[in-house]
Amino acid sequence: MKKKIALVFGITGQDGSYLAELLLNKNYIVYGVKRRTSLIHTTRIDHIYKDVHLKSNLILRYGDVTDFSNVFNLIYQIKPDEVYNLAAQSNVGVSFELAEYTAQTDSIGTLRILEAIRILDKKRKMKFYQASTSEIFGNSPEKPYNEKSKFEPVSPYGTAKLYSYWMTRNYRDAYSIFASNGILFNHESPRRGENFISRKTIIGLIKVLKGEQKCLHLGNLKSKRDWGHAKEFVNAQWKILQHKIPDDFVIATGKNHSVKDLVNLVLKKLNIKHKWKKDKNNLEYAIALNNIGQIKKSQIIVKQEKRYFRPNEVHNLIGDSRKAKKILKWKSMINFEQLISEMIDSDLKSIM
């Protein structure tokens, strides 16, 4: 039987690496798009990538979704069965500083891929997956969010992603392209980028324990997120494209926790006893109650800092993925505590 060909934009990212593993295990030929960078950074996929001169089912090509001729050429040459658009400037906080670049990548980047598919795939055989996000719900009041909830994004990232969500639906309806949105809630793993809250907290507190960093500085501790495991969530991405019709699905665990819960859990797992206090500006900080590692009793180990607050915030995200459970037979099995424990163990091994 002819092997299926997948084209993955964003293969060097957290999800891209897990998705590539999953597709290779399912015997796909996987083409991954990597950006030109001054230093090669393919760390997340090095374990599955063989020397370019050896025969392999994983092939890397240079590319960038801000370059239409490149996107068009890749789709023209590779003729994939499935296209996964995971490429994005994915940091919500950074999107306030790089608003135009975020739109170029997260909105128009998607349009470029959809246009290339529309022009090149006359027989409408290609399937397209769009990495949509819970950020498109913003602070919409009716929770938990499902596929019918109202969209009210509050950041350049969320707004850019909402454009892509609608373009994916528009191209499906107008041109009969098999184009689907996975509306994924936060998902983490040991491969999560170091400036997202889960990884930043874990790495930061391990460094504080080792005496390499005095204190962990954070922003909003009150916001709540529905955190799942990336490995499970990429399985949903694949399932969305195997469904007989193109459609949109919310992918979430259905449970949420605050940033402060996350910090408390990491401190507990590292055996750092602590107490929260407030300063005169009402900013919170945590002090150690025990001597442990390089930490001295009464040391300030976590501190809120204004610079890490965003101009606008999504306060409370929780998803309802009953549709995915019913139609795709997908459900999250790894809970918050298991996820964080796995991430801590992984970072303890590499940092200690």
344, 268 Cβ separation under 8 angstroms: no
Spacing of C-alpha 170 from chain mean position: 24
Out of ligand NAP, ligand F7E, none, what residue 220 binds, judged by CB under 5 to 8 A for its kind, is ligand F7E
Q: Prior bond to 144 cis, omega within 30? A: yes
90 interacts with ligand NAP by CB under 6 A: yes
CB of 227 to ligand F7E, least distance (A): 9
Contact residue for ligand NAP among 64, 247, 248, 347 (CB under 6 A): 64
Which DSSP letter does residue 51 get? P
86 interacts with ligand NAP by CB under 6 A: yes
CA separation, residue 77 to residues 71, 127, 215, 286 (Å): 10, 16, 51, 55
Contacting ligand NAP within 105-124 (CB under 6 A)? 105, 109
What is the distance between the alpha carbons of residues 272 and 165, in angstroms, rounded to a whole number?
43
259 interacts with ligand NAP by CB under 6 A: no
192, 198 Cβ separation under 8 angstroms: yes
Q: With the CA atoms of 53, 59, 60 and 62 taken in that order, what torsion angle do they form, in degrees rounded to the nearest 10?
A: 100
21 interacts with ligand NAP by CB under 6 A: no
Residue 233 buriedness (CB in 10 A; 0-12 / 13-18 / 19+): buried
Catalytic residue among 21, 135, 188, 232: 135
Catalytic residue among 18, 157, 171, 285: 157
CB of 139 to ligand NAP, least distance (A): 17
82 interacts with ligand NAP by CB under 6 A: no
CA separation, residue 269 to residues 24, 78, 258 (Å): 34, 47, 17
What is the distance between the alpha carbons of residues 335 and 253, in angstroms, rounded to a whole number?
8
197 interacts with ligand NAP by CB under 6 A: no
Q: Which is nearer to ligand F7E, 73 or 104 (CB)?
A: 104
7 interacts with ligand NAP by CB under 6 A: no
Active site residue 82: no
What is the distance between the alpha carbons of residues 201 and 262, in angstroms, rounded to a whole number?
8
Q: Which is nearer to ligand NAP, 112 or 260 (CB)?
A: 112
What is the distance between the alpha carbons of residues 11 and 237, in angstroms, rounded to a whole number?
14
The site string for ligand NAP over 156-185 (x = CB under 6 A, - otherwise) reads ----------------------------x-
CB of 234 to ligand F7E, least distance (A): 13
CB of 40 to ligand NAP, least distance (A): 10
118, 177 Cβ separation under 8 angstroms: yes
Active site residue 157: yes
Active site residue 145: no
Q: Find the part of the chain contacting ligand NAP (CB under 6 A) among 186-194, 210-218, 279-287, 329-337.
A: 186-194
Residue 279, token pair as written in the block: 């300063």
Binding site for ligand NAP (CB under 6 A): 9-10, 12-16, 33, 35, 37, 64-66, 86-90, 105, 109, 131, 133, 184, 186-187, 193
List active site positions.
133, 135, 157
